[in-house]
Amino acid sequence: MRRLKAFLFERRVLYGMYVVFWGLICLTTFLHDASFVSIWDSLLFTLFVLAVYSIVSFYRFSRKQQQLELLATKDLQVSNLLFLPKAETLAEETYQQTLQVVLENKNQQQEELQQKQKAMMDDFGLWLHQIKTPVAALDLVIQSGQLDPRTMKNEVFKINEYLQMILNYMRQHLDQTDFVFQQLSIEAIVKTVVKKYATFFSQKNLSLQLEQLEGTVYSDQKWLIFILEQVIFNGIKYTENGTITIFFVKNQLTIQDTGIGIRPEDLPRVFEKGYTGINGREQQRASGLGLYLSQQAAEKLGCRILIDSQVNKGTTVTILFPEEIPAFE
């Protein structure tokens, strides 16, 4: 009954025009005192044709409605469009083309989302590999019974750093508006970071030289500190003895260390996600996420990170800041 009502409602104009048409014919016949016999026969013929049309049309309408209701119960995909009823009008054809475009866009978005989820799971696996190192070291200290407070504190500090790294990773991928740009003092930012790692400088007997640091940059404080933490902590990890030097000249912040350096074949890939190079594999200290995240954050800040290194002589990391204030100030 519901389908019949819907069918009649969709064709209300046709039936209405039929009634109006025959009403005008009857009125014209009455005004001219003509015979209604021939008119009555014509009315019967047309009613028969209209009835046949209605039966056939309702049958096709009912079949089409069944197909649509069946498709409505399924997860509609582009492949399901083959089961759509054949378009009988230009409007229906346009609707089907629009639906196809929508479904194709939906499939593309789902594929992109799956790829992002897979990439995040892979990155999480890399991070787990990295955080296991200080956890294992802390467990070894506890099992040995020689509870050195400073060693335990350092390992807990590393664990906290790696937890902060994964939080920054999630924030960077899930929140694209997590940036507050302002004028920042390079000296204040650098001193904040090196103070955080003062214990490691002392533990490894590394000397720190803070040279020319006067100047300001237009950037986001939290993400700039994150980049410097990764760069400076890498310098500490791979420098057994010597000096770490930091200076700022003409929108370029440079961090130099006298550590073990990076092999020439590893240099082009240091910013690749998950790439650790021979140093990271031999010492099992890296996950390949730190510099990758730093490069991603730097791009969003409008910066560039350049690395130059020589084996057994040290590494120089240069952060290039934009000379002009970005348009989104």
pLDDT in tens, 218-241: 999 989 999 999 899 889 988 888
Q: Write out the two tokens for 234.
A: 């890498």
Q: DSSP secondary-structure letter at 211? A: -
Q: Distance between CA 71 and CA 73 in Å, rounded?
A: 5
Q: Distance between CA 89 and CA 97 in Å, rounded?
A: 13
Pairing of strands 252-257, 181-185: unpaired
* The CATH number of the domain covering residues in 179-329: 3.30.565.10
Domain spans in the chain, listed from the N-terminal domain onward? 2-105, 179-329
Say yes or no to pLDDT of 94 above 80: yes
Pairing of strands 314-320, 216-220: unpaired
Q: Distance between CA 239 and CA 285 in Å, rounded?
A: 13
Q: What is the pLDDT of residue 245?
A: 96
Whose structure tokens read 């866009």? 105
Find all residues with CB under 8 Å of 212, minimum gap 6, and list them: 247, 248, 249
Q: Which residue in 244, 317, 237, 231 sits closest to 279, CA to CA?
A: 237
Q: Distance between CA 316 and CA 250 in Å, rounded?
A: 16
Q: Which residue in 60, 103, 64, 63 sits closest to 81, CA to CA?
A: 103
Report the predicted TM-score, pTM, of the whole model to 2 decimal places.
0.59
Contact 235, 262 (CB under 8 A): no
Q: Distance between CA 304 and CA 58 in Å, rounded?
A: 68
- The Cα angle at residue 174 between residues 171 and 178, in degrees rounded to 5: 55
Q: pLDDT digit string (tens) for 96-146?
A: 788 788 888 888 888 888 887 777 777 777 677 677 777 877 777 777 777
- The Cα angle at residue 110 between residues 104 and 116, in degrees rounded to 5: 140
Region 152-157: what's the mean pLDDT? 75
Determine phi and psi for 248, rounding to 5 degrees.
-130, 125
